[in-house]
Every structure is written in C-alpha cells, then in structure tokens.
Amino acid sequence: MKRIYNILLILMLSLYTVDAQVLINPEKLPDQALNFMVASDMGRRGVSEQKNIATLMGKEADMNKISFIAVPGDPIHDDGVKSTEDSEWKDKFENIYTASSLMTLPWYVVAGNHEYHGSVQAIMDYSKISKRWKAPARYFSFEKTLDTKGTKCLFVFIDTAPLIDKYRADKSYSDACKQDMEKELKWLDSTLVSSKDRWKIVLGHHPVYADTQKDVNERTDMEKRVGIILEKEKADFYICGHIHNFQHLKPTGKIVNYIVNSSASESRKVNKTDGTIFCNPDPGFTVCSVTSESFSFFFVNHKGEDVYKYILKK
C-alpha cells in the first residue's frame, strides 16, 4: 500500500510540475519587432517528455507578440509518420502544443533525419490537414517585412538529410538518396545571392559547426556543402537542431553565427569546441527578435530560465 501511495504521489507531483511551469524573469520583446520561436527535435514520448516545454512555449507566446514558430527538423521522433492519418500527429503534436496562443501561429517545418524513417511526403501533406502546419516543400524560403520602410528579413529552410552521404547510403532513410543534392545546393546559393534583404537567416536540421556526439562526417559533409555557401553569400545566422543541446558558435575566420537549438524533449551533454561562444545541455527552445537594426535571440530551458542572450547589430 505504501509503495502504491508513493507512486501516486510521484505522479501527482510530476503533473503539478508541468502545470506550474512559469517563465523566470522573461524577456519582454518589442511588439513592433518580428518575433518568432524555434522548436526542434520535438515529438518523442508525448506528454511525459514534451508537455513541459510546450507549456513554456505557450506562456512565451502569451506574453510576447510571436509571429511564427520555426521547426528545423525532427518534429516527430522516432520514426516520423507513415501518413497524414498516423496517430503520432495527435500524440506528439496536436495534443501537446495546445495553448491557445500556439494554435493560431503558423509552424514552418522541414524534415530532419527521423522523418526520413517514415514519409517525408506526409510531412508536407499535413499542411492540407492542419491550418497551422506549414511545410510547402522539402526546402523553401519566404520574406518578412520588418518596418514601414519595407525592410525585409529572408528565411531559408533547407532539407539537410539528403545533403549528407550517411543518409543517402542507408536505405532505411526512405528516399533520401533519390533527392537531387546539387539542385538543392544551387537553389540555396541562388536564393541567398539574389536576395537584397537586410537579414538572411538559414535553417536546417543538421549542424554545420557544433560540438556533436553524432558521426563527425555528418557535420563535415554539411561544412563542405552548406557552410561554404553560407559563408560565401554572407548569411547572418544558420539555425539547426539535431544535437539536442544549446550552442552558439562562430568559428575562427567565419562570418556566420551558428546556432544550435536544443531539443523540445530529451537533451544531451555538450562540450566547448572551436568557435564556441556559449553551450548548455538543457532541453528547451529559442526565442528570436528581429528589427531593421538588430537580431537578438535567447535560449529558454525546461525550467523557464533565459540561460543565454545575444544581440547582433547591423
């Protein structure tokens, strides 16, 4: 009886912890800025791992004027989805991100490596099912206007799994090998070079530069294929996920600021590496605020703490 009581007490306390999550000394963002959140590596075990951070994201959107949520990969762990009817949609997205402030926001999504275990086409097709899910193609871009003068910010979302040899060679990653790598890289280059926008933000699942416990060839493939384009065309930021921790890096001699957004469920340890400005092993999400003169971002962990803030001014 005592053992059952203790188990019930633990369950009650865990539920209370989820419901009681609050943002600690939250940052109030200017309403006139373009504010957005970044969430990645989201859907793992539903309520048990995701709901806490989902609750904090809802509170962030309640307090600040958030325009959209960017999802650079792995929205549905562990094996993606098989179709738009897959129960994983409800278990790991619809029934988790339920705050009213999150229901009306567009969620711009690209696939990560886990989606390639399922159907990437279903990730795109879900855009026809959910009004808030926006995955128009495997890779895509859009602009947002920042002020009354028409100053713009360019957002470029790329599909990174087909750009890495490891995934192209492994048949368990569905159709990664069938994607035209050169076509996507040429598109990325031309999209950046033709843009006259004030800010150029590129988002993809896999890191270009980061401390990683993953196969190092993932990162070096990204460096020689994507990194060279980002640096040549002088992108301002590259934002990724995949590593399940927070990192901000600017390696020696590089122009671009590289941001790793942590996991919205399970996180991993992290160490400093070349170019590390900040790193942290907590799970959480990232909040960004853009004006014509500055781009700021801060990392929010699972406790509701702003663990890091950075501002880049033009």
**Separation of alpha carbons 234 and 110, rounded Å:** 22
Residue 29 carries which side chain, given as an amino acid letter?
Answer: L
User: So what's the pLDDT on residue 46?
Assistant: 53
In this predicted model, what pLDDT tens digit does every residue of 42-59 receive, in sequence order? 977 656 668 999 999 999
Average pLDDT over residues 236-265: 97
**Separation of alpha carbons 229 and 97, rounded Å:** 35
pLDDT surpasses 90 at 11: no
**Separation of alpha carbons 97 and 132, rounded Å:** 11
pLDDT surpasses 70 at 14: no
In this predicted model, what pLDDT tens digit does every residue of 131-144 receive, in sequence order? 999 999 999 999 99
Nearest alpha-carbon partner for 278 in 262, 290, 266:
262
**Separation of alpha carbons 295 and 314, rounded Å:** 8
In this predicted model, what pLDDT tens digit does every residue of 92-128 receive, in sequence order? 999 999 999 999 999 999 999 999 999 999 999 999 9
User: So what's the pLDDT on residue 47?
Assistant: 61
| H or E element, residue 14 | helix 2-19
Instruction: Give me the domains of the chain, ranges plus CATH numbers.
Output: 2-313 (3.60.21.10)
